[in-house]
Each structure stands twice: as C-alpha cells, then as structure tokens.
Structure 1
C-alpha cells in the first residue's frame, strides 16, 4: 500500500515554494514567516487525512495563500483622528513605472508571470492554480513580458 511521504520530507521539499508564495503576498519579513509557519501547522493537522498521491505543492500553496490573506485582513489600517503630516511610502515603490506597466496587463498575464518568474513554478504546474493548460499560460506570460518590454522601450525613448 502506498502512503504519503513523511511530513518532514514534505516541509523540506516544498518549504521554499510556500515561503515564496507568502513573501509574494506579504512582502519579506515577519508576516511572511508567520504565514509560512501557520501554513505548515495547518497542513500538519490535515496531513493524516490527505488523499494518497495528492499534489502536495498545490495543496500547500493553497493553504499558504489563505493564511497570507488572513494576515492581510488582520493588518487592516486603524482609523485615526488626524492624518500624519508627512506621507511615508513603503520601501520598493521607487519604480512606479513598472507598477503601472504591470497594472496594464491582464489579470491572467500578471498571475502567470508571478507564478513563473517570481515563484519559480514551471508552466506545467501552473494550471493547478489558475486553470487552463501550460501552452496557453506560456503564451499569456510571453504576451505580458512582450508588453512590459515594449512599454519599457517606449519610456526609454521618451527620456
């Protein structure tokens, strides 16, 4: 009878991918690390009842995504009576052009680019999260990258 691998092996094999997902949604730091830990605590509780042969990485990424969303919801801004005098922008917003370019892409293009280039997933694994097939997702990413390059080139020519 076939069984799922020991949970310790699951953590070793998929821990990095889970941390990348948490970091992508929450940014680097303690929130991402908390989401990573909460993901594996929840997974440990549910692991004994998981079907043998299940796609472990997809299962863990789904849990991580939900844990990250829970943390994002819990970190909502608290209203204050007075606004601060100076606005402090979060670190990393120096490339507003890139953010604007990313916003111009379709949701599918942004997601596929994120899964493939940011999280390092092969195109063959992405349909488990987004649907579709590897060829169509590869095309969406290629079109998105082409659009980003085109916009970047136009911006360079204007300056």
Structure 2
C-alpha cells in the first residue's frame, strides 16, 4: 500500500491567511503583554509540525489549537510575583480600544476559571465551533458546550446582563 502525499499550501500562504486570527486569539488568551510572544511561539510550533501533517483539512482550527495551548503554557509558567514595596509602578498599555471595545467584559473574561476562559475565547474570538473548541481543549463537544455555557452564565452575572 502506497501512502498518499498530502498537498499542503506553502507555509507562507498559511501565515498570510491566518496571522490575524492567531494574534487576536493569542492576545485575548494571554493579554497584551504576552500575546505577541504566544503568537510567535505558536507559529514556531506550527512551522516545526507542518511537514508532518497528514491532512490539509481545517488548518485554521489546527493553528488556533496550537495558539491556545501556547497561551496555556504561558499561564502555567507564571509564578506568583512578590511585589517590591519600593519599586515604582510599571505602566502597561492595554489592548487597543478599537480591537477590545469593552474593557469590563475582558476583565471579567480574564477572571474566569482557565478552561472556561479558554473555551469562551476560542468560541467567540477564535470563531471555532464546539468541535474545534473540544479539539483545542482535548475534551468532547458536549463538554465544550458546557464550558462555554457556564462561562457565559458567569459573565452575565458579573456584568449584570440578562437576556429576555
């Protein structure tokens, strides 16, 4: 039996088509400070794995899954920092207001438990369906639906938004 060669587009074409999705998701998951590093790490991992892909189906979802996992790695690597009492405060620019029009919403999203935060961000920022979210989080579509639902309920309660 002869294995069939997978026809993948050139890696640059993949970057050209999906770089905005990767950076947007990376910044949403890791914040303005770490988002660019997460996106860079995701592209590096994707580049290393690209020649070994066995399917060219849904490359966007594959990239966003890598991005979500890189963001999770950054969160796990963070150690609690002890503030220095005599250190001056450091000003960090937040997300661009044009991209993130509701800072209260994003503060609330960042306070969600990790899996809920990842699920709701993959669903609404990454625009993945529940199968894509499930693949990124290594769970089932039913569990993905539940994570997103729980996250939305928590966000509605925190923000005082209730639909009619």
Q: TM-score, normalised by structure 1?
A: 0.61
Residue 126 of structure 1 deviates from its aligned partner by 1.0
* 2:145 pairs with 1:138: yes
Query: Which of residues 120, 132, 135 in structure 2 aligns to 1:125?
Result: 132
Q: TM-score, normalised by structure 2?
A: 0.59
| Structure 2 CA distance for partners of 1:142 and 1:46, relative to 1, 3 Å | closer
Q: Distance in 1 between matches of 2:115 and 2:69?
A: 19
| Structure 2 CA distance for partners of 1:128 and 1:50, relative to 1, 3 Å | same
**Runs of 5+ consecutive residues of structure 1 not aligned to the other structure:** 155-159
What pairs up with 1:7-156 in 2 under 5 angstroms? 7-28=11-32, 31-53=34-56, 55-65=58-68, 67-68=70-71, 69=73, 73=77, 83-84=85-86, 95=104, 99=108, 103=111, 107-130=114-137, 131-133=139-141, 135-153=142-160
Matched residue, 1:4: 8
Residue 128 of structure 1 deviates from its aligned partner by 0.7
Determine if contact 1:102/1:148 at 8 Å carries over to the other structure.
Answer: no
Residue 23 of structure 1 deviates from its aligned partner by 0.8
**RCO (CA 8 Å, sep 6+): is it higher in 1 or 2?**
2
Residue 56 of structure 1 deviates from its aligned partner by 2.9
Q: Distance in 1 between matches of 2:56 and 2:44?
A: 20
| Structure 2 CA distance for partners of 1:127 and 1:151, relative to 1, 3 Å | same
Which consecutive aligned stretches of 4+ in structure 1 deviate over 4 angstroms post-superposition?
65-68, 70-73, 75-80, 85-92, 105-108
Which has the greater radius of gyration? 1
**Runs of 5+ consecutive residues of structure 2 not aligned to the other structure:** 95-102
**Corresponding pairs, count:** 146
